[in-house]
Chain A
Amino acid sequence: MDSEYSPAPTQNLLKTDLLEAAENLAENLAQSEPFRRLRTAEERLSRDREAQQLLSDLSDLQQKVRTMQYSGKLSESDLILLRAMQSAVLANQTIRNHRSAQELAVGFLQEVNKEISQLLGIDFASLTRRSGGC
């Protein structure tokens, strides 16, 4: 493709050198140990039926508890059941491994952002956010 010709059907602001640098960073991040570990943990989590069932059950129960809370029908036994389900999820090794891999990947990403931000003199990640809300 002719690099001098730059049609802009979708207003792509990334010029060649910046696109190359961004793609190089993206590729290296994806191939870094924390993100490789995260992908492995995600694959294991998606294959683990027991873990999937626990997460699904917890999600259903949380939804039910929220609904009962709004209608003022939440009982002590519902809360005990919710806590027991949360403990079961936290005790599952596959889920724990996934969470720990996620934390490591996020921590690494924050270090990378810090490196970029120090050189720019501004928090780079804050400029990339599309929504201001929490």
Chain B
Amino acid sequence: MKNRDEPRVDKLVDTTWNELEVAPREVVMHAARQFAEVLSLTDQFQAFEQAYLDFRQDTEAQSAMEEYQQKQSSLKALIMLNAVSEEDRNELKVLYDRFVHQPSVVRFIEAQDKLIELSQQIGDLLSQAIGMDFGSACRTGGCCG
């Protein structure tokens, strides 16, 4: 058991800090939860959630997405080799256009863009405060994770 009068090692590491100014972990996490709650109530986030639900419930849009994904998947190897025929390329484009022009998909993409625009402004604010790019630092699982 440690002697109560023995100075703690971590207290000796950085004596220049004013401990009252350090935000404890729980306080930071509380601020994070509070921020998430406020963000979830914004028009942009609410619109994004609604647009996502509408898209998921739109059977025509879901079927258009599946058809496009199936075609893309069947051509995966040829796409990597840049050896897709003109006919397949055209068919893929038609399926893609049909998918992205579904009204619920258009609304979802628009809502997502607005949420991204808002989030980027918040990301800039956080990055400036911490002196590090928030989005890049939070990247996990490889360079594009």
Contacts and interface: CB of A to CB of B under 8 A. Distances in A.
Contacts of B24: 32-33
Given A13-B44, A125-B139, A134-B144, A35 B36 contact: no
Contact of A32 (B25, B45, B144): B25
Contacts of A15: 42
Contact of A25 (B40, B119, B126, B132): B126
Contacts of A24: 31, 34-35
Interface stretch (A73-81, A85-93, A113-121): A113-121
Contacts of B126: 22, 25-26, 29, 128
B40 to A, nearest CB: 6
B23 A39 contact: no
B143 A32 contact: no
A29 B132 CA distance: 11
Interface residues of B, number: 50
A123 B27 CA distance: 21
B140 A29 contact: no
Interface stretch (A1-9, A54-62, A102-110): A102-110
A54 to B, nearest CB: 22
Nearest to A15: B42
Contacts of B121: 12-14
B132 A105 contact: yes
Contact of B29 (A42, A105, A112, A125): A112
A19 to B, nearest CB: 8
A113 B138 CA distance: 7
A13 B118 contact: yes
B14 interface: yes
Contacts of A111: 29
B130 A128 contact: no
Contacts of B117: 13
A46 to B, nearest CB: 13
Nearest to B126: A26
B135 to A, nearest CB: 4
Contacts of B132: 105-106, 109
B37 interface: yes
Contacts of A28: 23, 27-28, 31
Nearest to B118: A13
Interface of B: 14, 16-17, 21-25, 27-29, 31-40, 42, 44-45, 115-126, 128-132, 134-140, 143-144
